[in-house]
Structure 1
Amino acid sequence: MYLEMGGKYNNEYFKRKIFVNNIQIKKIRNEFNNTDVYSTLFLYEDDKSQDESNLIGPLYIDLDADIENEDDYKLLKKDLNLILIHLENDYGINKKYIKFYFSGKKGFHLIIPYQIFNIKPCKELNTYYKLIANDLNNYTLNKIVDTRIYDNKRLIRLPNSINSKSGLYKVPISYNDIINLSFEEIKQYATKPHSVQVEKPIAILKAINKYNEIITYYNNKNKKHKKNKQFNIPKNVDIHSVTFPSCINNLIANGCEKGNRNNSTIILCSVMLQKGISYDDCLEIITEWNETKIEPSLPNNELIATLNSAYTQILNGRRYGCTSIKDLGLCNKSCKIFK
């Protein structure tokens, strides 16, 4: 099986689509001087593309908090404990099986081994994980779980690599240190690499049952949409007469964050195609948008592949809309469309 890696060369431009096996990770880490270097958590089947492959990998929970002072850090710790209580009570997962990381800047990450859920490789694993993340987020006070990151090609900063924005390492850290250290002490802790041991994962029946409930829920939900699977794209539309909701206008005008480029692009392509904008006009619009509003911009071949994916998905009945926009944090609360 293989994974994808990427990183920033000379702190200037970002390169991804570096496909390696586990043995080659160290080599790529060194090529990027162990700074701003990333990999997918998912492994892919050797004989298939990422989109065609079954996925296998751990559950990744990103606590995306804006920590400016110790009071902010206390709020994060409170939400972390609420998540851990829910994992223990509803999933049967004790924190001794969870790997905790400080991102090297402001975030904290949790890694839960897939073996706990007795997961087998499957194409929809990222979607199932997103449902778990949404469930955990519902139990937090400040909604700090980032639920926008569950595409099947998400790159995650490598453990014990340097975050160039802070000069600190992304480091494994024990739960006790998270709770007992101040945020300033956490940053001091992250000035060098660390190693933290956790319990070897075992299959947990309660977690397996909860995971199977999620799969059943997802499959039942999808069945309701099969009767109306086909979608006829409008034809002969005057591009100048097309109007968009405020969230899409905002995306067109202001671009998106670096970590959301692919998801934002496919949403924009899907919405334009649904409105009847031709493939060629859509390509022209997103090319200009990518060059003027996205920093760093996506490679041209990746842009075209994203448009092709959006077009194919529409023909197969999958359209991006309000839910996807809300997940990216682009939803306008005053909008009358989404309630």
Structure 2
Amino acid sequence: MALNFHQLHIFYTVAERGSFSAAAQSLHMTQPAVTMQVQSLEDYFGTKLLQRSTKRIDLTEAGRALMPYARRSIELIRDTDQAMSAFTKQLKGRLQLGASLTIGEYILPRLLGPFGQSFPEISISMKVMNTAQIMDEIMNHQLTFGLIEAPVNHPDMQMEAVMSDELRLIVPKDHPLSKRPTVMLDEVVEYPFVLREQGSGTRLVMEEQLKRKNIDPADLKIVMELGSTGAVKSAVEAGLGVSFVSESSVKHEVALGLLHVVPIEDVRFKRQFYSIYLKSTLLPISAVTFLTFLREKDLQQWL
């Protein structure tokens, strides 16, 4: 019997998930099939890799020694898929992903067309939801991966920066700042603000940058908190306050003269968008190809 990657992947997933049943659910296999593959791997090495009990799974000394090699084999396969995706043009299938609000409403719709021209046989199903919902659906295996606006820490999740973005100050067309070529941050914070809700990626990036400039976000004059970028733009257009939103989300309103983007001289609100998926999951080649497209293409030509 030869050592094979499939068995290493199953062993690693059992160890990471802590039980055969959880690993079986993650791998879309039956529990007996998972158990059989781990036993075959133990037979190959001639030693026990897992200590089984009624409540939990523990690694033996041999299992602990094998874990970094199993992890490296998974990473190598992922890197191989990524390297070869550039040469794969005849992909077929359906790609399911989740996207947080700004990405799903304003960024991806402009990128799916160019991606579809390069890979016409891949159909994409996208759910637009907040980061917590995306993580829940990934954990429950309802989504393959997600794209989110702010980094998160989760022991089961793999996260990687795939796109750049910048928040810009928007003001109504007749606002005192609308005709200024640039402004300073300490001027901006004196005005009323309309902001995304607490916990949103946009709000988090804005608040962190303010803190770096020794400005307490709690001191802002926040007149309204809203649950979508579209609602924020409408409120600013109505003259209720100023705000920070993704540059890609206001191109239409700026072109029509409904809103103005005002550069801030002493600070920039740059951020990354991240892909997120289970560490124990091997992404399908279609997902790897899509993420490679996001990382390596000059996306600004479409945004």
Larger Rg: 2
With normalisation by structure 2, the TM-score equals 0.24
With normalisation by structure 1, the TM-score equals 0.22
Instruction: Specify which structure has the bigger relative contact order, considering alpha-carbon pairs within 8 angstroms and separated by 6 or more residues.
Output: 2
